[in-house]
Amino acid sequence: MNTAQAKRVLETALLCSTQPVTLRDLRVLFDDALGADTLKVLLEELQLDWSERGLELVSVATGWRFQSRPELRLYLDKLNPEKPPKYTRAVMETLAIIAYRQPVTRGDMEDIRGVTINTQILKQLEDRGWVEVIGHRESVGRPGLYATTRHFLDDLGLASLDQLPLLPSVDSQANALSSLNMPEEDSTQASLSLEQAIEEVDSPTAQQIGPLHE
């Protein structure tokens, strides 16, 4: 199989997938005849091939996927003007604490915020698939330790937590998450902010591309 044909296979598989696809799964397409390094090169070539189109190929926490470009969301939203629910400042600050300080207990979050954390806030974040309990602290009551999920990274278009900006205070962290990767005035390669990502993945015109064969 030549390079052009291999790229065509990758392109088709990714466009028809409803979820990010890992390198391991992509290797199955070629019966492991292509190694991970070769696949990465082909994927990077595909990124260049699509650089001037309405879709972009990106690497997120759980694999590779095609998605619509953020700057085109304004037009896609016209297909369905229904607005997704807004998230409160308390939710954003709690999410920021978990993202930056993880793993943390509810008590840790309350100490940092200086207020009691409403149970519904954590439930809302868990139901959204952004946080989960990954263990329990060996202390009185064995409180749960919260951490963000790979789904959280996927929804923000991040490959790892290392891509979060390093900031000292909860307020600045919450603000940073709210404006994460905001586009420059002349940028055509903008990533979603946290608030945009929240609206995008809750919107009927979600950015990730579904199967084209449906």
The answer to whether 94 touches 109, Cβ cutoff 8 Å, is: yes
pLDDT at 209: 45
Task: Say how far residue 6 (Cα) sits from the centre of its chain.
Answer: 27
pLDDT at 84: 61
Tokens 């694999």 found at: 63
109 domain-assigned? yes
Residue 148, domain CATH: 1.10.10.10
What distance separates the 2 farthest-apart alpha carbons in the chain? Answer: 61
Which domain does 132 fall in, by range?
70-206
pLDDT digits (tens, 9 = 90+) for 30-55: 998 999 999 999 999 999 999 999 99
User: Which carries the bigger pLDDT value, residue 151 or residue 211?
Assistant: 151
Label residue 29 left, alpha or beta by phi (over 0 means left) and psi (-120 to 50 means alpha). Answer: alpha
3-state helix, strand, coil in the chain (%, to 5): 50, 10, 40
The three-state secondary structure class of 103 is coil
Domain tally, the chain = 1
pLDDT digits (tens, 9 = 90+) for 104-142: 999 999 998 888 999 999 999 999 899 999 999 998 889
55 domain-assigned? no
- pTM for the structure as a whole: 0.65
Share of the chain above pLDDT 70, in %: 75
The answer to whether 57 touches 63, Cβ cutoff 8 Å, is: no
Token pair of 51 as six digits: 């650089």
138 domain-assigned? yes
Which residues does residue 68 pair with via DSSP β-bridges, in sequence order? 55
pLDDT digits (tens, 9 = 90+) for 77-114: 788 776 666 778 888 889 988 998 899 999 999 998 88
The answer to whether 95 touches 130, Cβ cutoff 8 Å, is: yes
119 domain-assigned? yes
**Average pLDDT of the residues in 60-75:** 88
32 domain-assigned? no
Which residues does residue 21 pair with via DSSP β-bridges, in sequence order? 64
186 domain-assigned? yes
Q: How far apart are CA 211 and CA 21, in angstroms?
A: 13
pLDDT digits (tens, 9 = 90+) for 169-182: 666 556 655 554 33
Burial readout 113-125 (b: 16 or more C-beta within 10 A, e: otherwise)? beeebeeebbebb
24 domain-assigned? no
